[in-house]
Structure 1
Amino acid sequence: MDVELRASDDDRNRVVSELHQHTTAGRLTLDEFSDRVGAVWAARTLGDLAALTRDLPTLPDPAAEATAGSGTAGHGHRELLVLFAVAALTLLLLGSFLAATR
């Protein structure tokens, strides 16, 4: 990976998703998650994004997990609720960032 390449919105969304997974696993507090998500949206390069997850373990491949059939129906509902909460928090942070820069 060339760390000087400019990051795309897809790259940023991928990192936010990874941070969300680490938060649900208990590796990050909500405050740490919020701080890092703010930094994700300010990141310009792939190197900037990589620095935000450097201290976290590599996550398993989601495609491999899907074929393994891991997880239960109840777990899926909890994941969806957490994802909704994270999305709402991200929108709140983004709105605050935009309001502060005007």
Structure 2
Amino acid sequence: MNARIRASDGDRERAVTALNQAFSQGQLDYAEFDERTRQIWATKYQDELLEPLADLFPDPLRVFSERTPAVRPGHAPQTRPSHLQVTGEPGGDSFSFAVMGGSERTGDWLCAPTHTSLAIMGGTEVDLREARLGARETVINAVAIMGGIEIVVPEDVHIVSDGVGIMGGFGVSDDKSVTLRREDIPAGAPVIRFRGVALMGGVGVTRKARGAK
């Protein structure tokens, strides 16, 4: 009797990539995508990864046998649209802070469904354009006390801002690189919700195109 083989993170990532493909082609709605992504990351054995893909692909096993195409020299990989950023991975960074100094979260990093950023007489930068998101809706709690917090989000996500400024500012703006109007963002796109307070400080949320400086 053959023993069951345990799944690796690479196996799970390939399964999630396949789900992303199915989602982008309209085979799944957001609720189904989120549910199946969580199911994949909770799997223990390789054979369990086939069930979430069974009604999406004629032969789900091929998902794990095909290799990701190599990037041609001189050609950088394309940045992923916002729905591909939602990986459903567990864990992630849930806290960033700066006290009389600075800190940043940029590039490819895993953001927890709830992330708190605190700046006291210092500054923090949270860039979500290339981040992996643990959930379709991400909550950012931003507290700036005589300091500043700069948050950068991709232009193709929904933004909900519930923050307040007390002798300070808490606002959302568009960078000159933005080409997508907020009203044109797809209804099923990820949601970034901002909460918190700026006390004699500032919290700035900027929509910016991926790759823009």
Query: TM-score normalised to the size of structure 1?
Result: 0.62
- Matching of residue 86 in structure 1 with residue 128 in structure 2: no
Residue 16 of structure 1: aligned partner = 16
Deviation at 1:54, TM superposition (A): 0.8
Kindly, what percent of the aligned residue pairs are identical?
A: 27
Matches within 5 A, 1:1-102: 4-58=4-58, 63=69, 80-82=80-82, 85-88=83-86, 90=88, 91-93=133-135
Deviation at 1:3, TM superposition (A): 8.6
More helix by share: 1
Alpha-carbon distance in structure 2 between the residues aligned to 1:47 and 1:36: 15
Deviation at 1:92, TM superposition (A): 2.8
Change (3 A) 1:54 1:89: closer
Contact persistence 2:37–2:87 (CA under 8 A): no
Alpha-carbon distance in structure 2 between the residues aligned to 1:50 and 1:27: 16
- One-letter amino acid of the structure 2 residue matched with residue 34 of structure 1: D
SS in structure 2 at match of 1:52: helix
Aligned residues: 79
Query: TM-score normalised to the size of structure 2?
Result: 0.32
Deviation at 1:88, TM superposition (A): 4.1
Alpha-carbon distance in structure 1 between the residues aligned to 2:27 and 2:3: 25
**Segments ≥4 residues shifted beyond 3 Å:** 58-63
